Copies of this chain bind each other. A is one copy, B any other.
């Protein structure tokens, strides 16, 4: 397959100027030029462009990209594993940011307050995550998961014991939810106990508690497939059940929920 600048540009979703610039700096040169000087790209160049865009997406500058992919030990598949890890890290950071937004919304709407430094969680987290990314694997190999948990505990500003407590409470919420589910009634005593447990669990990671924030998070559990799947493990429709229980618990019911 052969492509002119514009064809390749359209396929990859970049501008022709970008391709010409990449040629100019020697990052991606066309396979050849035709008799009138037109740039012609082949499938090797397509692959290379794909790689470049992967790395660009990760925020690497073009110079670094060039070094990475022109590295003699760069063998393609293996090199793609790195961006994969980076992408996963990015998603983790995004999750934090989203949680932060959720919490900020609730804090702004409700009466809860947020410590100033809490407001930048997820932004600075990027730095921590980058570290984790760089050293995480080595550490994991050397010292096993226990060390990682320690590190995670640190990240959450917890001591190890607290982190253990946090983890076990997490499981307790799930098992209580499973029980409560069977009653089928979000206002049942069991369901309300589950909501209370969930609040307790929350207090490990949230600086202050507010009904609005709690209710908001519960709604997010339903909206977000990820969280939904997690709580649906407890029982069919577990996320929705938990949300309803929390709505009753916080006394927010229908009103003030996220549309």
Residues in A lying within 8 Å of B, measured CB to CB:
1, 11-13, 43, 46-47, 50, 53-54, 57, 76-77, 80-81, 83-84, 87-88, 90-91, 94-95, 97-98, 101-102, 104-105, 108-109, 116-117, 119-120, 123-124, 126-127, 224-226, 229-230, 232-233
User: A11, A94, A101: which has the most chain B beta carbons within 10 Å?
Assistant: A101
Copies of this chain, tallied across the complex: 2
Residue numbers in B under 8 Å from A87 (CB-CB):
94, 97-98, 101
Name the distance in Å between A218's Cβ and chain B's nearest Cβ: 16
Does B80 lie within 8 Å of A117, measured CB to CB?
A: no
Q: How far is the CB of A92 from chain B (nearest CB, A)?
A: 10
Using A83-B101, A127-B13 as known contacts, say yes or no to A76 and B108 having CB atoms under 8 A apart: yes
Q: Which residues of B contact A109 (CB under 8 A)?
A: 77
Contact of A43 among B43, B116, B226 (CB under 8 A): B116
Can you report 20 A-B residue pairs in the complex whose CB atoms are below 8 A from each other?
Answer: A11-B120, A12-B124, A13-B123, A13-B124, A13-B126, A46-B116, A50-B104, A57-B123, A77-B108, A80-B101, A80-B105, A83-B101, A84-B102, A87-B94, A91-B91, A91-B94, A226-B229, A229-B230, A229-B233, A232-B233
Pick from B101, B116, B120: contact of A84, CB under 8 Å? B101
The CA-CA distance from A53 to B119 in the complex, in Å, is 10
Query: In the assembly, what is the distance between CA of A77 and CA of B216, in Å?
Result: 12
CB contacts (< 8 Å) of A225 on chain B: these are 226, 230
* Nearest opposing residue in chain B for A117, CB measure: B11
Report the nearest B residue to A101, measured CB to CB.
B84
C-alpha spacing A204/B223, complex, angstroms: 25
